[in-house]
Structure 1
Amino acid sequence: MSQLFTELVNALDQLVLKPVADNPDQFEWVAGDKPWIKALVPQLSSNQTFEIDQTSLFLSDFIVDAQRIWSSSENSLLKSGLWTEVSDTGLSLNLEAIAIKQNGQPLLVVINKSDEFAYRQRTLQSARELMLANDKLLEQHDYLHNRLLGILQSPADFSHSVGSLAVAIENAGFAVMILDENLQLVTENKAVSELFEYSKSRLSAQSTPREMLLKLMQTQLPEYERIFTTGSSWSGEVCWLSPPHTLKWLKLAIYPVKHESPQVSNWVFFIHDITHIKYLLERNERLTLQDPLTDLPNRHAFWQTLQRRIDNRHPFYLLYVDVNGFKRINEFYGHSEGDKLLAELAGRLTRSLKKRDYIARVGGDEFAIILADVDKENNCNNVTQRLLSLLNQPFFTETGESYQVGLSIGATSFPHDAQDVEELMKFADLSAYNGRDSSKSSVQFYSQKLKEQSRQRIEMEAELLKAISNDEFELLLQPILDLESGKIIKAEALIRWNHPQKGLIMPTLFIPVAEQSGLIGPIGRWVFERACQLLKAIGEAGYSIKIAVNLSPLQVVDQTFFDFVRACIDKWQVDPVYLALEITEGVLVNDYRQIHNLLVRIREIGISISVDDFGTGYSSLAYLKKLPLDFLKIDRSFVQDIVTDDNDKAIVSAIIAMAHKLNLGVIAEGVETNEQKDFLTTNSCNSAQGYLFSRPISIDALLTLLANN
Structure 2
Amino acid sequence: MDNNIFLSIINSLSGVAFTSRFIVKNRSPIIYSLNFFDNFKDKAIGGFSSERLVENNLFVENVHPDDRMKFFENFLSLGIGENSQCKLRFKTNDGNYIWLKINMIILSRDERFVEIGGVIEIISKEKNLEAIFYTIKEINRLIIKTDRENKLFQSLCDLLVDKLNYVGAFLGDIDSNKLFRLKFFAKNTPEILVEDFKKVTISVDERIPEDRGTVGNAYRTGKVFLVSDTLESESMKPWVTYYKKHGIRSACSIPLYKSGKVEFVLVIYSRTPDLFSEEYMEILDEIKSDISFALEKIDKEKNIKLLSEAIKESPEWFLIADETGTILHVNKAVERISGYSVDEVVGNKLSMFIPDFYPEDFCKELFDRISRGERCECELIRQTKNKNIFYLDTIFIPVFFDNKVYRFVELSRDITKEKLQQERISELTRLYITLSDINQLIIRTDSIRDLYQTVNEILVKDAGFSIVFFVIIDEENKLKIHSFYYQEDGLDNQYDDFLKFIEESYKEELSILIEKGFISAISIQNKEIIYYNDLTISLKTEEIKEKFKCYGFLSSSASIPIFKNNKVIGSIFCCSAKKDFFTPDILRLLNEIGTDISFALGKIEMERFNAMTSTALNSGSDFVMITDKNFKIVYVNDNTQKIFGYTKDELIGKHHSIISSRSQGLGFARRFYRTIRNGQRFADLFIYKSKSGERVYSYTTITPFLIRGEIRFYIAVGKDITQAKSLEDSLKRLKDYDPLTSLLNRNKFIESANEFISIAKYEKKLASVCIINPIGFSSINQAYGFYAGDLILCEIADRIKKTLREYDLIGKLESDMFVVLLKDIATLEDVLNIISKLNLALEKPYEISKRNEILVFFNYGVSFFPNDGENAQTLLERANIGLASIKGSKDRKIGFYKKDFEQRARMKLDLKSRLERAIINKEFILYYQPIFSIKDKSIVGAEALLRWKNNGQVILPMEFIPILEEMGRISDVERFVVDNVCNKLMDWEKREKNIVPISINLSERSFKDENFRKYVIYTIKKYEVRRRMFGIELVERTFVEDFERCLIMLKKFDREGISISLDDFGTGFSSFNYLYRLKLDSLKIDKSFLNNIEKDIRAKSIVESIIFLNKRLNLKTIAEGVETLDQLKILEELGCEYVQGFLLAKPMPEEKFEELIKS
Q: Which has the larger radius of gyration?
A: 2
TM-score by length of 1: 0.45
Query: Given the two structures, how large is their TM-score scaled by the length of structure 2?
Result: 0.28
Relative CO higher for 1 or 2, CA cutoff 8 Å, sep ≥ 6? 1
